[in-house]
Chain A
Amino acid sequence: MNYADSFPSTLISTCLSMAILLPLISFIVSFIVAEKYSWAVPFLASVLLLMSTVCASVVMFKIWNTDPVALSWHWFNLGSLTFTVGVLVDNISALMLLLVTLISLLVHLYSTGYMAGDSDLRRYFAMLGFFTFAMLGIVVSGDLLLTFIFWELVGFSSYMLIGHWHEKPAAAHAATRAFMFNRFADMGFLIALMILWTDHGTFEISKLTLASPLATTWSTIAAFGILCGVAGKSAQFPFFAWLPRAMEGPTPVSALIHAATMVAAGVFLLARLFFLFTPIALDVVIIIGSITAVAGALAALAQNDIKRILAYSTISQLGLMIMAVGAGSTAAAMLHLFTHGFFKACLFLCAGAVIHALHQVQHQSNTAFDVQDIRNLGGLRKKLPFTFVVCVISSCSLAGLPFSSGFASKEAILDVILGWTGTEFSWRWMVLVSAFAVSFLTVLYIFRMIWLIFFGAEKATRSLHVVEVPPVMRAPMALLASASIWMIVSVDPFDYTGWLYSGLRNGKFFHFNLLAPISAGWVLAAAGVAYYIRDKAMTLPLLRHGFYADEAINRFVEGPILNLSSVTIHADKKWIDGALHFTAYMQMIIAHVIGWMDSALIDGAINGIAWMTKRIGSLTRYLQGGKIQLYIFWAAFTIIIFIIWTLL
């Protein structure tokens, strides 16, 4: 691949840096604004994000289908090793740039309504800006070390946002858990970085692509390491338990995490570092993807919390994207990431709208029921007609019904997996079956959700006067819903190879002509089944608890770690502290001995000499003390002694 070493025009580089830095400015401004003016923060942040989005779209349309640009600058030296920072902008990053800024802008707008009256608006909007900035950093970074830094910053800001209502113990716990899961998984990423540095001596992605691929064990291990980091960030098996818990955060944050900034980072990194994956690693990727996709879809069937259904749905859809990467097509994965970003953000905003509207009415009428539990809801299509329409459009896209963007991108993924499976019968057919099963299950759970919220008889809301959310929240929902139709992918609703896919496509390209009608028929059949079983409740505890992934982590990871740490605490207290105390006591004793020797012997010697000098001085003074007769006495005495001595 050829990399240009400068941008085609200064307009593009200016717009690119503006697009990335404006969210950072929004972060700084939101933090330093005085408490008195905190009402201005939502508008200020939204305006900054709007400018960022405009810049990002300029970059997107200027750079689309041109040569990728790779720049790098010298950063620091460590001994003889030189580290660089770099920017790598190609079609994928341009697309992500637009997706991230656009979704973030809409979430900002939505949050101005949703979060109105929150006690800590400044921190909320500051972290939204920082989250966006960190994600944009990953998107344009051309250097793995820099990517890793932004990768961690994304984890940090998600921690801050999930735990925004940190006075709720569940939220604080969920935030810590998300952070811990990510940190744990990032260990793999870090190991991969070390292996890559040892192998190639550079972190620059553009140089890594040019380096000859080494099909050694070490490159496979490096690929596994990256996969581990990706699985943590994108909530893949076995790390997916943090994502449903993260629903404790504000709903717009969930939309941002699920659509653009957090979980997308994993798939994006997988697509960008696709060239590092050896065939064995790719097989593992697709297996992990299919396990996650099926498990997420099954778990979503049994949830009763709106946001948890959507969380498991995201896990399942991310599994599909990972499967596409494993099957060798980053293009299909990125296409689905793009379309999924819009319809999943829209679904979350719809869920937020329902929650917000019901919270408002609960507030006025002093009733209390869990508004997120779909068993309490029902028949809301008459009271919330706008939300109903928007939600149905985006759900159709998620379910992959024809004439939706989801249909096109899912078809791309199925197409790729079909091509990967081949005609010979092998374990690969299992993956194909699981892909179709996920597509089927998706229809079931999303139909169940829509049905329980908007159809049937009203339950807890029967006597309440529910009003729609304000226009500032409805506008982002409408925009996202309109982005969920097929037009965004290509003009022909049954052909996904439009402008987007041709810009992303790389490498092999398999197309099965009969897939579109088969897929459409399959989804419609699923819809029929879903209608038929609409009133059946899924109460399998295994699915309700998400395959006990959380509990398994508790038991098999957290438990041993806690035990280990209590052992180490004990050892620390008993042995290390003991040894330290013993050394300290010994030192004290030695110090006392030395102190005694100092005062008794050395000082004693000095004092003794001084004392003797004083005695001799006073003696001699006594001898010549001005008493004349004493002189004579001594003289006579001496003479007598002398005489006696001479005579004897």
Chain B
Amino acid sequence: MFPISHFIYLGALLFSIGVTIVVVKRNMIVVLLGIELMLNASVLNLVAFNRQHATNIDGHMFGLFVIVIAVCEAAVGLAIIIQVYRYYQTSVPEDVNELRESK
């Protein structure tokens, strides 16, 4: 039986990796992957904390809910990315700079 701290560490690691990907990567799809990773880290935490109170299943339900939301979010996000790609011919967010003053 693993102690809960292992799950929390893993969640924190996953979250940190997700944040790093979001900040560092240029491709928008990879950024979306990072976001998914952060969501999964939080879901892992929810499930892990639910094990402390095994009599109810609120954590599990919340986790499932998050997964559903994440799917929707990924779908909307990918759609936006595809539309942006079509319009700007790029999937790098920095190059989408139409509102910025031209240099």
Which residues of A are interface residues toward B (Cβ below 8 A)? 625-630, 632-633, 636
* A residues in contact with B99, CB < 8 Å: 626
Query: Are B93 and A628 touching (Cβ within 8 A)?
Result: yes
* A residues in contact with B22, CB < 8 Å: 629, 632
Annotate B69-80 by CB proximity to A: 1 below 8 A, 0 otherwise: 000000000000
> How far is it, in angstroms, between the C-alpha of A636 and the C-alpha of B22 when the chains are bound?
11
Query: Are A626 and B97 touching (Cβ within 8 A)?
Result: yes
Q: Which residue of A lies closest to B19 (CB)?
A: A636
Tell me whether chain A's interface is mostly helix, strand or loop, or mixed.
helix
> How far is it, in angstroms, between the C-alpha of A628 and the C-alpha of B84 when the chains are bound?
15
Q: What interface size band does chain B fall in?
A: 10 to 19
Query: Are B19 and A629 touching (Cβ within 8 A)?
Result: no
Assuming A630-B23, A632-B22, A632-B23, what are 7 further A-B pairs, CB within 8 angstroms? A625-B100, A626-B94, A629-B23, A629-B31, A629-B94, A633-B23, A636-B19
Of the candidates B23, B99, B100, the one having the most CB atoms from chain A within 10 angstroms of its own CB is B23
Q: How far is the CB of B94 from chain A (nearest CB, A)?
A: 6
* A residues in contact with B94, CB < 8 Å: 626-627, 629
Which residues of B are interface residues toward A (Cβ below 8 A)? 19, 22-24, 31, 93-94, 97, 99-100
Q: Which residue of A lies closest to B31 (CB)?
A: A629
Contact partner of A626 among B23, B24, B100, CB < 8 A? B100
* B residues in contact with A636, CB < 8 Å: 19, 23
Tell me whether chain B's interface is mostly helix, strand or loop, or mixed.
helix
Q: How far is the CB of A641 from chain B (nearest CB, A)?
A: 14
Q: How far is the CB of A456 from chain B (nearest CB, A)?
A: 119
Q: How far is the CB of B33 from chain A (nearest CB, A)?
A: 14
Q: How far is the CB of A618 from chain B (nearest CB, A)?
A: 13
* B residues in contact with A632, CB < 8 Å: 19, 22-23
Q: How far is the CB of A625 from chain B (nearest CB, A)?
A: 8
Q: Which residue of B lies closest to A639 (CB)?
A: B19
> How far is it, in angstroms, between the C-alpha of A630 and the C-alpha of B23 when the chains are bound?
7
* B residues in contact with A630, CB < 8 Å: 23
Name the 9 nearest CB pairs between A and B, nearest first: A633-B23, A626-B100, A628-B93, A629-B23, A636-B19, A626-B97, A632-B23, A632-B22, A627-B94
> How far is it, in angstroms, between the C-alpha of A177 and the C-alpha of B78 when the chains are bound?
116
Q: Which residue of A lies closest to B99 (CB)?
A: A626
5 CB contacts below 8 A, A to B, read: A626-B99, A627-B93, A632-B22, A636-B19, A636-B23
Q: Which residue of B lies closest to A625 (CB)?
A: B100
Q: How far is the CB of A628 from chain B (nearest CB, A)?
A: 5
* B residues in contact with A628, CB < 8 Å: 93
* A residues in contact with B19, CB < 8 Å: 632, 636
Q: How far is the CB of B9 from chain A (nearest CB, A)?
A: 16
> How far is it, in angstroms, between the C-alpha of A628 and the C-alpha of B19 when the chains are bound?
13
* A residues in contact with B23, CB < 8 Å: 629-630, 632-633, 636
Q: Which residue of A lies closest to B93 (CB)?
A: A628
Q: How far is the CB of B29 from chain A (nearest CB, A)?
A: 14
Q: How far is the CB of B85 from chain A (nearest CB, A)?
A: 16
> How far is it, in angstroms, between the C-alpha of A386 and the C-alpha of B14 when the chains are bound?
148
